[in-house]
Structure 1
Amino acid sequence: MSTATLRTVLKTYPHTQALKRGALTDRDVTLDFVDVSPVHKAFAPMVRETAYDLCELAIVTALQAIAYGAPIVLLPAVVASRFQRGCIVGWTDRGILDPASLAGKRVAVRAYTQTTGMWVRAHLAEDAGLDLRQVEWITQDPAHVAEFQDPPYVSHAPKDQSLAEMLQRGEVDAAIFGNDLPTEPGFAPLIPDADARDHAWWRKHGFMPINHMVAASRAACDAHPEAMRAAYRLLKEAAAPLAAHDGQPVPYRFGFTALRDPVAYTIEACLRQDLLPRALTVDEVFAPAMELLGHDGA
């Protein structure tokens, strides 16, 4: 049997470098890496057109895609997690708002479905008791999943200005950023003890908030099951040398057992924010991958 080639999108992380530079290989699969930067630009093509065989995918996008019946298989593979409370910022010239006082205010975020935004909102509700539906969420991008429509408390702004500019001019009262978190003078976090709160949350729940997992095309899984199993083994093998030391959090996680509680928590957070059209169970989310991977995915 010839080796199958899988068209693959993965961002370069410490735990994916060995795969991307070809230091780790498997005779059952060839990973043909496609460079998409920033990586979130691959998400819509993946869930709308299954443009790739294997693709990094935001967990909110993945859950929405599953709920709407997109032909993807979510693997039990987390490749990006991070603490999120430091991602909501204000502008010091107007004073930094207390998170509990955001009801009735305007908060900008790239997209309502952005995973960082989902986690920040979940933390605001948990920490400050904020009614998220009482905030006007100002967005620029639509959902990656075409069928999803933003809830009525979400408004849209033109894309000819950045979130940082909107915040500086006072058009919004706070803004949530992803990897583009501004560091210039004048921007300051709304949650000054974000790092301490994040670590306390991690100690309580046992995982870092999940940003990105890995999804596969259902057609590619059906056509090349051995190659998909090999790709999953490679993902785990690439991360293994970077396993946690001294009980510190790490941004990756693998296996159905390890991900059951984190994914269940994420589903509930999405439901509370009107991000899903219906309730999902962890068994439903992982059923196709469990059939594909069997005990290898445990």
Structure 2
Amino acid sequence: MKVVLGRDDLAAAAEAAVKDSGEQFERLAVRPVHKASRGFVDGNGPDVCELAIVTLLQAVAQDRPVLLLPVTALGRDQHQTLVTLGRLTVEDVEGRSVGVRAWSQTTGVWVRGFLTEQYGVDLRKVDWRTYEGAHVDGYEDPSWVTRAPEGSKLPADFLDGRVDFGIMGNELPADDRVRTAIADARRVAAEWSAATGFTPVNHVLGITDAAARENRAAVLAAYDAMRKAAAAAPTAAIDPSGFEGLRGPVTRAAAYALEQEVIARPVDYDELVERTCAALGVPASRLGG
């Protein structure tokens, strides 16, 4: 079983469980993990892959043989990732330029959802700039989104003032001028999570349909071990693993993605559950449902 995981604790747990089941295990050295996404979705990569929620949703919307293995690899607050320089605030977003690495980037999907829900922003009245495409072939940005010139980089464009706002998580540049566009963003994020019952999730685990059907015992053993490891070191206040734990964040992310033309058709959460259960030959309760 070939695996791409960013977290060492999840990888160690999965390796021990898979080997105990009698199967071979190989952790592929891919960093950052999103570089494995395209090959995984195309069927030319690992059997199990840490995957952004939106990449999973796009793959399922295109009926690719990719399944959700319900373990959260990364979850975090997102309100603080909308940043600006100077005196602009979230109230100034309409009519201004906002850069995001990719329209399909999960952080961007979450933030745009907050903008519409909490601040009444009409996304089509924003000058959106993207810098790269999706990890799923066949997807194109909406017609009302502009691709930055070839070779452009979001952090540089942001610091040089070529975009008014940026949506950046790990790629946020270290500069004393940078501040959150949403005042007291961490408090706002905490209140949002308290109201919804979950922290936004960025990365889950994906598995190919073929691997799930051919290595059922090993996959289930790896799932049990990784879910236990994730619960011991959650990336958010509550680890939302298992089918029921992930229902809230994945459902909300899918709704945002559909509204933002990130996916071409609705992806119902129960569709994800049914696909995985059918391949593994187990009821939803076996995977925390």
Provide TM-score, normalisation by structure 2.
0.91
1:107 partnered with 2:107 = no
1:229 partnered with 2:220 = yes
Provide the rounded CA distance (Å) in 2 between the counterparts of 1:123 and 1:147: 27
Provide the rounded CA distance (Å) in 2 between the counterparts of 1:271 and 1:56: 22
How far the C-alpha of 1:230 sits from its partner, in A, is 1.4
Post-superposition Cα deviations, 1:79-136, rounded to whole Å, max 9, x if no partner, equal: 1111011111112xxx232212211211111100000011111111122111112112
How far the C-alpha of 1:175 sits from its partner, in A, is 0.8
Counting aligned pairs with the same residue, the percent is 35
Letter in 2 for 1:135: V
Paired residue for 2:245?
A: 258
How far the C-alpha of 1:41 sits from its partner, in A, is 0.9
Q: CA RMSD in A?
A: 2.0
Paired residue for 2:237?
A: 249
- In 2, are the aligned partners of 1:64 and 1:275 still within 8 Å (CA)? yes
Range 118-127 or range 105-114, more displaced: 118-127
Paired residue for 1:274?
A: 261
Provide the rounded CA distance (Å) in 2 between the counterparts of 1:283 and 1:226: 23
- Give unpaired runs (5+ residues) of structure 1: 1-5
After superposition, the Cα gap between the structure-2 partners of 1:239 and 1:167, relative to the gap in structure 1 and judged at 3 Å, is closer
- In 1, are the aligned partners of 2:83 and 2:165 still within 8 Å (CA)? yes
Provide the rounded CA distance (Å) in 2 between the counterparts of 1:193 and 1:264: 26
SS in 2 for 1:191: coil
Paired residue for 1:41?
A: 35
SS in 2 for 1:226: helix
Q: How does 1:1-298 map to 2 (within 5 A)?
A: 6-12=1-7, 15-16=9-10, 18-19=12-13, 26-28=19-21, 29-91=23-85, 95-242=86-233, 249-250=237-238, 252-291=239-278, 292=280, 293-294=282-283, 295-298=285-288
How far the C-alpha of 1:65 sits from its partner, in A, is 0.3
How far the C-alpha of 1:50 sits from its partner, in A, is 4.3
SS in 2 for 1:213: strand
Provide the rounded CA distance (Å) in 2 between the counterparts of 1:124 and 1:228: 38
Post-superposition Cα deviations, 1:213-236, rounded to whole Å, max 9, x if no partner, equal: 100011111221111111111211
How far the C-alpha of 1:18 sits from its partner, in A, is 4.0
How far the C-alpha of 1:24 sits from its partner, in A, is 6.1
How far the C-alpha of 1:206 sits from its partner, in A, is 1.1
Letter in 2 for 1:40: H
Provide the rounded CA distance (Å) in 1 between the counterparts of 2:120 and 2:44: 39
Provide TM-score, normalisation by structure 1.
0.89
Provide the rounded CA distance (Å) in 2 between the counterparts of 1:253 and 1:39: 20
Provide the rounded CA distance (Å) in 2 between the counterparts of 1:272 and 1:297: 29
How far the C-alpha of 1:178 sits from its partner, in A, is 2.2
Provide the rounded CA distance (Å) in 2 between the counterparts of 1:262 and 1:227: 27
- In 2, are the aligned partners of 1:96 and 1:188 still within 8 Å (CA)? no
Provide the rounded CA distance (Å) in 1 between the counterparts of 2:114 and 2:102: 17
Letter in 1 for 2:108: G
- In 2, are the aligned partners of 1:106 and 1:174 still within 8 Å (CA)? yes
Provide the rounded CA distance (Å) in 1 between the counterparts of 2:208 and 2:12: 23
- In 1, are the aligned partners of 2:83 and 2:180 still within 8 Å (CA)? yes
Provide the rounded CA distance (Å) in 1 between the counterparts of 2:173 and 2:209: 38
Provide the rounded CA distance (Å) in 1 between the counterparts of 2:252 and 2:208: 25
